[in-house]
Amino acid sequence: MGIVGEQLDIDFVISVGDNFYDDGLKGDTDTSFEASFSHIYTHPSLQKQWYSVLGNHDYRGNVSAQLSQVLTQKDWRWFCRRSFVLCSGMVEFFFVDTNPFVKKYFTDPEDHTYDWSNVLPRKKYISNLLHDLDLEIKKSRATWKFVVGHHGIKTAGQHGVTQELVDQLLPILEENKVDLYINGHDHCLQHIGSEGEIQFLTSGGGSKAWRGDIQPWDPKELKLYYDGQGFMSLRITHSEVKFVFYDISGNVLHQSTVSKKSKTFGLF
């Protein structure tokens, strides 16, 4: 990842959640921060700003710890919020906290304990989030609009489609003609999409992978399904976005482009 980052001369890094496995951070002094972040991403090319959302495993720990300025003081690269907008000239990234959408985390948490402080009441939290997201996307004058969340909207992975997001979040993305939805959650790499529509990109192969199962999906839409570890890159210009998926050795697994003029994509 560091070598590819150097070759591309990257501007920043995005983490799609489950930042600290298996149960988030215990607090802002938890040594997992160094063990899973600062001491891992040491390559010079990765000494850039990181923008992170929360995953369900992060909610099993102390959420406020990951949002704390204390971590940023320890490692200036760290930036994590529940939901936020990153304005980067021709592109805007809309980061969304997808965890409260998933009803089973509230009704059937199994043996897990979730930190829902500052989230309850759930329905109001979701309503406010969707309202604010819709407003911010409509305000945007960026050429490209990407939404980043932890859970999948279209995925052939083990966890499957997050129906609550299909019902509540997807209509906003479609109405506002969002270009990409980028997520984690499923421990694999995926590209699902049809020409002229939203492209759904899963980059969940940061560590635990090789689950060995794949859900049925229309092969016309499923452009990539890789069950192992890896990462992806985005290269953005005014007229085109190129995204590339890599395995752990930096070998290219799949690449595709989306053109703004014709809103088409090509495979290589």
Q: Rounded to 5 degrees, what are φ and ψ at 228? A: -105, -170
3-state secondary structure of 127: helix
Of 96, 93, 98, 97, give the one whose Cα is nearest residue 49.
Answer: 93
Those residues whose C-beta lies under 8 Å from the C-beta of residue 155, and which sit 6 or more positions away, are 161, 183, 185, 186, 190, 192, 200, 202, 215
Element housing 86 (H / E): strand 84-88
Specify whether 159 is catalytic. Answer: yes
Which tokens belong to 197? 């529509």
Q: Are 25 and 67 in contact (CB under 8 A)?
A: no
Residue type at 141 in one-letter notation: R
Identify the active-site residue in 112, 151, 159, 238: 159
How far apart CA 97 and CA 148 sit, in angstroms, is 9
Pairing assessment for the beta strands 144-148 and 180-183 based on DSSP bridges: parallel
Torsion of CA 188, 233, 197, 237, to 10 degrees: 180
Active-site residue numbers? Answer: 159
